[in-house]
Amino acid sequence: MRASQFPLFTNKETPADAEIASHQLMLKAGLIARLGSGLYTWQPLGLRVLRRVEQVVREEMDAIGGLEVLMPAVQPAELWEESGRWSLYGAELLRLKDRHDRDFCIGPTHEEVITDFLRRELRSYRQLPLTFYQIQTKFRDERRPRFGVMRSREFVMKDAYSFHLDQPSLQATYDAMQQAYIRIFERLGLRFRAVGADSGAIGGSVSEEFMVLADSGEDEIASCSQCQYAANTELATSRLATPQSPVAPAPAAEEPTPGIHTVAEQCKVLGIEPAQVLKSVVVMADDSPAVLFVAGDDELNLIKAAKVLNADEVRLAEPEEALQATGVPRGFIGPIGLPDGLRQWVDTRAATLINFSTGAGRQDYHWVNLNWGRDVALPKQADLRTVKAGEGCPRCNQGQLEIHRGIEVGHIFQLGTKYSEAMNARVLDEDGKQQPLIMGCYGIGVSRVVAAAIEQNHDEQGIIWPAPLAPFDVALISIGDDRSAAVSEAATQLHDQLQSAGLSVLWDNRDARPGVKFADMELIGIPHRVVIGERGLKNGTLEYRGRCDSENQDLPVDEVLGVLL
Ligand code: ATP
Ligand code: MG
Ligand code: MG
Ligand code: MG
């Protein structure tokens, strides 16, 4: 490929609104271009990287028997009403109407669609187990899209769904999927951890996240120095929290408890079972200016919090609507910072107000429990436990926990019968009995992987692609007088030779100064650089430099291929 036919849209300036390295470098290198908040065009160069990720994912999904499908991005509301998520999903779900005034959404995920597909098409239990996957565009109306494609609104996900007659079969596919994920992230050259996770609002009991280790990651992981234990600190905290002695009653506190703690911890400290406390939770969708967001996140997290509390019912409502809700709601969960009306209401009822976070340090919410009233003491900060580096490992009891930050690039779940029960997806078993299908679901943030890889692999000059992700394997740079017949002939020959050896080559034949060419090739992070100039050619040599090398190497022309392969 010649740069004259493959224009490089690189930029010198670091975009002012790009906070993290991957976002800055993806814009500067011309991999993506911003269209609007959380919306990006993949430029030709970026798309080559995205396609390489897709390819690895596709190969590993096929290898474990996944069947590729492609489902519509636009989904009818009826399906989401059947599963109960039309009301539960909140503002992250982009809803729209067609010309007949019928409701639709743009899929943030596809459990409903695939369940509907299989309940119609499955003929016999003998066809099970089945695993379907797709690589497709999702839309989530994130409350705070940021970091470019790391947390965008439209993004590419690989989502897979498996269907089974029994739990052992689900477990077998889940295990195969876990191994496939490990292979995928290893092949992509990423440093990652598989961690136990809270399955939250998506349901199910077993779930694991795949975290690319990076300081800019939004998640926090605790891992043991001695054994394989690794968990999202959210989960680690609830596992570690030990029952505390009852807290002596104290006067009602009008002010929230300082500090950030998980709900599970709060309940432990107070010596209460979350299930006893809260049966109905109204989650407020509050966009009022009084709301303070410590870190961007979404309503799904609030719902997740409600689930932690074992709420039977979760509804989204504006604060005013919540106040007027029919039947007395037992509690509220909302972002910290009460609107005035609600503050008054809470005060007159002497309700308890507790601050917590659904994930260590991620976002603060308040939890207003109306039933506890003045009898309940608020825990003191000292009574609460949070995971800190150095804590003993809850699994082996020998190692100590280390804390890392991570980027969630994949998530696998055992869903059980959550969707099949709600949507009546059943099959007759061997004995002629109707059985709900048992399901698993498995996601990879394909576009996020590209950004995560850059977070782990870059320097002052630009991106350093792990070889399997590079948009081109080799940057061929011709310098000096490009019209020189000798240079142009040698470059053409080498270009063709490398391409036929299976390497992808970007030949920078632009009419530009060598310094400009070198800087661009370093910025876009091509692993190998070969420079052809008149002077070298006279001695039959080329100049080679790996992206991470500190020095150039003169190589005889006919040895280049050997070095590159
Ligand atoms: P997060 O916690 O980052 O919001 P999630 O838990 O909501 O992610 P899942 O529902 O588990 O996401 O979706 C599967 C994968 O899709 C995630 O592991 C992540 O890699 C990717 N993903 C989710 N949201 C986004 C987004 N807004 N932009 C890019 N990738 C995303
Ligand atoms: Mg999310
Ligand atoms: Mg998550
Ligand atoms: Mg997830």
- Residues 339-363: tens digit of each pLDDT: 555 555 555 544 445 545 444 333 4
Distance 297 CA to ligand 3 centre (A): 10
Looking at residue 497, its amino acid is Q
Alpha helices in 126-242 (DSSP H): 167-187, 233-240
Q: Give the CB-side neighbour count of residue 284, counting CA atoms within 13 A.
A: 27
Tell me if 379 sits within 8 A of 270, measured CB to CB.
yes
Distance 143 CA to ligand 2 centre (A): 10
CA 330, chain centre distance (Å): 33
What is the number of the ligand closest to the CA of 181? 1
Distance 144 CA to ligand 2 centre (A): 11
**How is the beta sheet containing 74-76 ordered, strand by strand?**
74-76, 103-106, 94-97
pLDDT at position 495 over 60: yes
Looking at residue 444, its amino acid is I
Which ligand 1 atom lies nearest to the CA of residue 297?
A: 4
Q: Which residues make Cβ contacts (< 8 Å) with residue 474, sequence separation at least 6?
A: 498, 503, 504, 505, 506, 526, 527, 528, 529, 530, 564
- For ligand 1, atom 26: residue with the closest CA: 151
| Distances 500 to 194, 429, 486, 528, 540 between C-alpha atoms, Å | 38, 54, 21, 17, 22
Question: pLDDT, tens digit, for every residue of 203-253?
Answer: 445 789 999 999 999 888 888 888 888 887 755 543 332 222 222 223 333
- For ligand 1, atom 15: residue with the closest CA: 445
- For the CA atoms of 404, 405, 407, 413, the dihedral, rounded to the nearest 10 degrees, stands at 60
Average pLDDT of the segment spanning 323-332: 47
pTM > 0.80: yes or no: no
Average pLDDT of the segment spanning 125-145: 96
What ipTM was assigned to the predicted interfaces of this complex? 0.99
| Distances 61 to 69, 74, 120, 395 between C-alpha atoms, Å | 12, 24, 24, 31
Report the range of poorest mean pLDDT among 77-86, 205-214, 524-533: 205-214
Cβ neighbourhood burial of 89 (10 Å; 0-12, 13-18, 19+): buried
Alpha helices in 259-333 (DSSP H): 263-270, 274-277, 299-308, 319-323
As beta bridge partners, residue 137 has 156
Question: What pLDDT shows up at residue 385?
Answer: 33
Which ligand 1 atom lies nearest to the CA of residue 218?
A: 3
Which protein residues touch ligand 1 with a CB less than 6 Å away?
Answer: 109, 140, 142, 151-152, 155, 157, 408-411, 443, 445, 447-448
Distance 408 CA to ligand 4 centre (A): 7
Q: Which residue carries 């400290």 as its tokens? A: 269
Distance 352 CA to ligand 2 centre (A): 29
When pLDDT is cut at 50, 70 and 90, the band that residue 387 belongs to is very low
What is the number of the ligand closest to the CA of 109? 1
Report the range of poorest mean pLDDT among 4-8, 270-274, 401-405, 489-493: 270-274
CA 492, chain centre distance (Å): 42
- For ligand 1, atom 1: residue with the closest CA: 408
| 281: its two tokens | 């939770």
Burial 141-153 (b: 16+ CB within 10 A, else e): bbbebbbbbbbbb
Quick one: what percent of the chain has pLDDT higher than 70?
70
Residues with CB under 5 A from ligand 3 (ion): 408
- DSSP label of 2: B
Ligand 1 binding pocket mutation candidate from 218, 297, 448 (most atoms within 8 A of CB): 448
Quick one: what percent of the chain has pLDDT higher than 90?
58
What is the number of the ligand closest to the CA of 442? 1
C-alpha to C-alpha distance for 282 and 316, rounded to whole angstroms: 6
Higher per-residue pLDDT: 364 or 468: 468
pLDDT at position 202 over 60: no
Q: Are strands 206-213 and 313-317 parallel, antiparallel or unpaired?
A: unpaired
Question: 386 by DSSP, 3-state: which?
Answer: coil
Distance separating the N- and C-terminal Cα atoms of the chain? 18
Distance 218 CA to ligand 4 centre (A): 12
Distance 298 CA to ligand 2 centre (A): 7
Question: What pLDDT shows up at residue 267?
Answer: 54
Report the range of poorest mean pLDDT among 201-210, 519-528, 543-552: 201-210
